[in-house]
């Protein structure tokens, strides 16, 4: 059960497109491309129009995330969390998936077999990321309005928690570049609205409507285990409203 008395929302976005994104390379610490800069500017304009009171910004320490957050209004309080950094791909950092398949075919096979538990050599697994995100998730439960600027693997873990997804589903949750997810916790569920950057109009718009995710798992209702997520499969009732609406 959500114990907040006043409405509050959690916003999740990946950084703008980075140079490594454009080349299909994993990890690294490359800066934003021109397209990534445009998204960061559109994101800033979106939040200026929304006029959200006391919005706090939590950002990864990676350059691409920091560059995205720096476009936001200076009045927003920004904190940089190492826990929000992208999954460490170890020896595969900077490689493309084709590179990994050619150089480390056994690693590619192991990852495909069990993506959640697979750990990159000298790097991390999704299970490791969930573990380091536990304090972040606990704080998200306590805070008011927060924008998290982070990375694909990290946001998959956070969304899996709020969407009550299983560990098998977690690594496949869709969170594309230049999209923004708004989570609004209710008493026993969490409303979700997905926005996408409109390249033609240069603005962030609501393309995917509002979704009602039932069985919202609150820390107040149950303690998260070491994995941070429950492994049981519950029946979920997700309804989409106002598709393509503003």
The region of weakest confidence among 72-76, 80-84, 98-102, 218-222 is 218-222
Which tokens sit at 86?
Answer: 């992208």
- Is the predicted pLDDT of residue 218 greater than 60, yes or no? no
Question: What pLDDT does residue 190 have?
Answer: 84
Question: What pLDDT does residue 197 have?
Answer: 87
The region of weakest confidence among 54-63, 88-97, 207-216 is 207-216
Q: What mean pLDDT is reported for the chain?
A: 83
Residue list, annotated binding site for substrate? 14-21, 64
Which position among 35, 41, 86, 109 bears the catalytic label?
A: 86
- Is the predicted pLDDT of residue 2 greater than 90, yes or no? no
Domain boundaries of the chain, sorted by first residue: 10-87+127-241
Which tokens sit at 10?
Answer: 């959690």
- Is the predicted pLDDT of residue 103 greater than 90, yes or no? yes
Digit-coded pLDDT (tens) for 22-70? 999 999 999 999 999 999 999 999 999 998 878 999 999 999 999 999 9
Give yes or no: 86 in active site: yes
CA distance 153 to 161: 13
CA distance 119 to 10: 29
Instruction: Write the CB contacts of 220 (distance below 8 Å, at least 6 apart in sequence).
Output: 1, 2, 3, 141
Question: What pLDDT does residue 199 have?
Answer: 74
The count of residues in the chain is 246
As a whole number, mean pLDDT of residues 226-237 equals: 31
The region of weakest confidence among 85-94, 106-115, 229-238 is 229-238
Which position among 4, 15, 124, 178 bears the catalytic label?
A: 15
Question: What pLDDT does residue 75 have?
Answer: 67
DSSP string covering the chain: ----SS---EEEEEPPPBHHHHHT--S----B-HHHHHHHHHHHHHHHHHT-TT-EEEEESSHHHHHHHHTS-TTSEEEEEGGGSPP--GGGTT--HHHHHHH-HHHHHHHHH-TTT---TTS--HHHHHHHHHHHHHHHHH-SSEEEEE-HHHHHHHHHHHHT--TTTGGG----TTEEEEEEE-SSEEEEEEEEEETTTTEEEEEEEEEEEES---TTTS---TTSS--S------EEESTT--
Digit-coded pLDDT (tens) for 114-129? 999 999 999 999 999 9
Question: What pLDDT does residue 207 have?
Answer: 54
Confidence bin at 6 (pLDDT 50/70/90): low
Calculate what percentage of the chain has a pLDDT beyond 70.
80
As a whole number, mean pLDDT of residues 77-88 equals: 96
Which tokens sit at 39?
Answer: 């998204």
Superfamily of domain 10-87+127-241: Phosphoglycerate mutase-like (3.40.50.1240)
**The dihedral sign for the CA sequence 193, 217, 140, 176:** negative
Give yes or no: 117 in active site: no
Residue list, annotated binding site? 14-21, 64
* Burial class (CB within 10 angstroms; exposed 0-12, middle 13-18, buried 19+) of 89: buried
Question: What pLDDT does residue 18 have?
Answer: 98
- Is the predicted pLDDT of residue 134 greater than 70, yes or no? yes
The region of weakest confidence among 21-35, 177-191, 192-206, 215-229 is 215-229
Question: What pLDDT does residue 242 have?
Answer: 27
């Amino acid at each position: 059960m959500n114990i907040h008395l006043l409405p509050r929302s959690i916003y999740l976005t990946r950084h703008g497109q980075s140079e490594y994104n454009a080349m299909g390379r994993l990890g690294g610490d490359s800066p934003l491309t021109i397209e990534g800069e445009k998204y960061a500017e559109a994101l800033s304009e979106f939040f200026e129009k929304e006029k959200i009171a006391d919005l706090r910004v939590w950002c990864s320490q990676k350059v691409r995330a920091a560059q995205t957050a720096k476009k936001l209004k200076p009045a927003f309080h920004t904190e940089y969390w190492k826990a929000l950094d992208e999954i460490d791909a170890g020896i595969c950092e900077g490689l493309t998936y084709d590179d990994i398949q050619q150089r480390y075919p056994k690693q590619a096979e192991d990852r495909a077999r069990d993506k959640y538990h697979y750990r990159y050599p000298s790097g991390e697994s999704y299970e490791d990321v969930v573990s380091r995100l536990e304090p972040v998730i606990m704080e998200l439960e306590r805070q008011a309005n927060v924008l998290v600027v982070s990375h694909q693997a990290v946001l998959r873990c956070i969304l899996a928690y709020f969407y009550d997804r299983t560990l098998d589903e977690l690594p496949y949750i869709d969170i594309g570049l230049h999209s923004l997810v708004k989570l609004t916790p209710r008493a026993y569920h969490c409303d979700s609205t997905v926005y996408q950057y409109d390249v033609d109009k240069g603005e962030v718009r609501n393309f995917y409507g509002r979704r009602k995710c039932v069985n919202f798992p609150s820390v107040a209702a149950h303690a998260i285990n070491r994995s941070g997520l429950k492994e049981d499969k519950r029946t979920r009732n997700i309804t989409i409203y106002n598709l393509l609406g503003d």
